[in-house]
Amino acid sequence: MNIETYELIDKETIKSVLSLVKLQDNARWVKHESNYGLNGEVGDYYALFDNCMSQDLRYLLIEIAPDHAPLELLKIVVNHYRPGGYIPMHIDAGAGLGCEMLCLTENVGQGLKFVEDDKEIFIQDKSGYCNKFKKLNTIHGVDKVDTDRYSVVFIFR
């Protein structure tokens, strides 16, 4: 498969990360509009870039970042999908040379969908689990959510 899923961190670490994420001031978050869908549509979600997050959160995320050797960690982005939020099917424009997405929340029916061999595949979010993109040109997206969804994107070079 184009995306491999594995457990990265335990439930206690998830609680610590999510707690710090939710403590971030609203002024630190930006409405993210740089990933256009395949048909030009724009998603509805917020991003917290590593240069805008608190030092405590940034250091914790660096500490738990996946090992993507020989690549090095380039940047970290926390995504927040509020109820009704989504990202249309797209191909990442700025995914560096490697990309992994860590789920911080899990709600039934929420997750990552992607296309492989002309079929749409759904991966249910599971907190603490990481989705490793084996092919960076994988078409993927997130359907509209009913409850808050948080994820962390690790980009490598």
Q: Which two tokens stand for residue 133?
A: 């993109």
Confidence (pTM): 0.94
> 36-61, pLDDT tens digit by residue?
788 888 899 999 999 999 999 999 99
Using pLDDT thresholds of 50, 70 and 90, give the confidence band for residue 94: low
For the chain, give every domain's residue range. Answer: 3-156
Assigned CATH for 3-156: 2.60.120.620
> 98-118, pLDDT tens digit by residue?
999 999 999 999 999 999 999
Residue 39 pLDDT: 85
Proportion of the chain above pLDDT 90, given as a percent: 84
> 4-14, pLDDT tens digit by residue?
999 999 999 99
Please work out, in degrees rounded to the nearest 5, the angle formed at the alpha carbon of residue 87 by the alpha carbons of 85 and 90.
Answer: 175
> 12-40, pLDDT tens digit by residue?
999 999 999 999 999 999 997 666 788 88
C-alpha of 111 from chain center: 10
C-alpha to C-alpha distance for 113 and 122, rounded to whole angstroms: 4
